[in-house]
Structure 1
Amino acid sequence: MLVTIRNIAQYVNQEVKLGVWLYNKRSSGKIQFLQLRDGTSFIQGVVVKNEVPEQVWNDSKSLTQESSFYVTGIVREDQRSKLGYELAITNIEIIQIAEDYPITKKEHGTDFLMDHRHLWMRTPRQNAILRIRSEIIRAIQEFLNEKGFTLVDPPILTPTSAEGTTNLFHTKYFDEDAYLSQSGQLYMEAAAMALGRVYSFGPTFRAEKSKTRRHLIEFWMIEPEMAFVEHEENLQIQEEFVSHVIQSVVTNCRYELETLGRDISKLEKVQAPFPRITYDEAIKLLQEQGHEIQWGDDFGAPHETAIAESFDRPVFITHYPTELKAFYMKPDPNRPDVVLCADLIAPEGYGEIIGGSQRIDDPKLLEQRFKEHHLSPEAYKWYLDIRKYGSVPHSGFGLGLERTVAWICGLDHVRETIPFPRLLNRLYP
């Protein structure tokens, strides 16, 4: 039976067999040092000429980068190894000798690597990122399941915009117009009225012609929605949620974080509760720092970064002007010109990772918002029904998975956070 590199510590001083690819190799006279990977991790295998049959030695010499084979060897502890172990190889069974591999140890440009994304994923750095992404997803679902949320899948093809915007991908749905979903939120509100606490987790699409390091055309969103939950409790759930995810990654992906060179101490500080400032306070802070911004202006990436630099943990910015936010957000009863909402800004310049709010529960106010935002009452009739038949206070939020991965991994661009990124000028591979 094959074992995996990730579990190799269980087999110290035992002979094991693995299915592997050759990541790299070097030779020192009568010794071959093979860098092996099996999809779970990386390990060095050592072939000593005078300790193996001639055929095994010759096979080790013939291996090219990304050749596939079965390898048998004795597991040895090795403190010089990042993994802590190496393999003293006793046998090699070649499956395929790979052709000239396009990705070598030399420097490659971003476009070249993106054109070869299907192969680039095999490298230690990309491997670590995708493992951390997987752990983030696992921790997200763990938290929500333990808190009593039910997973509900919203449609990807929708008849309307979730936020009344025009940045949508249009298609024909037989003889009707349809759009790729930009959010599952409206459908989650309906589900929350049936199931109490729900969440969706799936792909969303934004037809924004943006080339920033924070934007993807196709990305994944986690969107919880909760009946009988108001603004304050919504924020508490968000900070507990993010803290849980971060600490799960720190605990379970330390090897991957170290592979990326991430400063783990910064992540260890991410513990609830998080600091909060109002939009008013944020405007004042930015003006004091010399930014040209006025009340009523939206925040751009430089503004979010400047605000985040005042804190060592994520920070909530609450109570944005009503005019800046989506039609469904509930106004503050004590001050109708702002809404009961919050954006969660990650530290280190990673910007907004969560947007959330308490939703309007008054059907008359929602109808008024339809008129103000020029939304079709017929198209949104089903959404209004949620308020007409048993309306309750309810709140929710959406977390962008790729921005969260970028922050936790310390990446410069979200294109590395998803297996096959869809960017403004990239649909291949």
Structure 2
Amino acid sequence: METVNQLLDSIKDVGRDAVRGGYSRAVYSTPELDLRQWFIEQAEQRGLAVETDRNGIIWAWWGKPQDGALVTGSHLDSVPGGGAFDGPLGVASALAAVDILKARGVQPPRPLAITVFPEEEGSRFGVACLGSRLLTGAIGVDKALNLRDAGGDTFADVARANDLDPRHIGPDPEALARIGDFVELHVEQGKGLGNGGPAVAVGSSILGHGRWKLSVHGQGNHAGTTLMADRSDPMVAAAQIILAVRGAAAKQPDARATVGRLTPVPGGTNVIASRVDLWLDARHPDDAVTAQLIEAIYRAATEAAAGEGCTVTLTEESYSDTVHFDPSLSQRISGLLPGAPVLATGAGHDAGVLAGYVPSAMVFVRNPSGISHSPEEYVADEDAATGAVALADVLEGLL
């Protein structure tokens, strides 16, 4: 029997990023593949039957797979330079919870499964929760297969290289029907639990959020021979757009908008770029407000681009409406975790995608600083252990 802390310690060197700090574990990269194999070995050591479905989702079964199972799990991929807990905490806690239940002598009256969803962060192909979106049909198959990573490889290419048949990727109603209830444990990615008080909380909702790509088109040219007055520089327009994003979000209460990635083309130090691509993340509890925010940002971007003799296009890459978790399931979990507060979150999760199709809920574990998607993300050992016990209590109570 291993504790959640021991399990996390066993993978602490997988995918360390010497440049960014933290961990870089993009889906189907060597580190993420190593973690997938680690999970399979851990599950098999516990006598769980492991299978990987046609969308690359790993299922580890305690009991015979059948419809209406109780399912828990999370993901193993990370953002570039991410923390140690975002994703792996939920997977390790699920394994530890199985150990706890077995130590209690629990014999599940219905099947229990642990899942690992691929590409939850969207750091390689740009669409968050890609595995759960494919499972449920929340993303079109053609769109998914033609997603490209930074190296130009399509998702179809990468899937094929990892023993998935692109012809069979997509909605899987049989696999989805196996989920009777889904509970995802995750590190809290805000300050809702703070210091002191309960170490775990029950999730209530996820803010509506999406990702958009802004491409600013200008005139590539020589940095040394082109006079300032003769330039159509998309980088200057991009700088103004980033400031406009901040300004638009600041005017709207509860809105969040971020430009987290920018790529100039061709990207030479002595070259005026011909195009600059910016990726925008925007969120708000009211989906109509999110749409208004994007409209305001696009208007400002168009004006900024025109002012520099450039043009701009906006492309939506993914969007998820505000999600409210199943109230009956969440209430049952609250009853099993007396004293646990109920928290909304601004972070997307596979549980949020699944919530539109099966009863889903979340349990959060304290992150004292609230810092996440960063090497500084942190969960104390005692809180991680408390979270694993809480998950075991929830699973036992729901079985």
TM-score with structure 1 length normalisation? Answer: 0.21
TM-score with structure 2 length normalisation? Answer: 0.22
Higher Cα Rg, which structure: 1
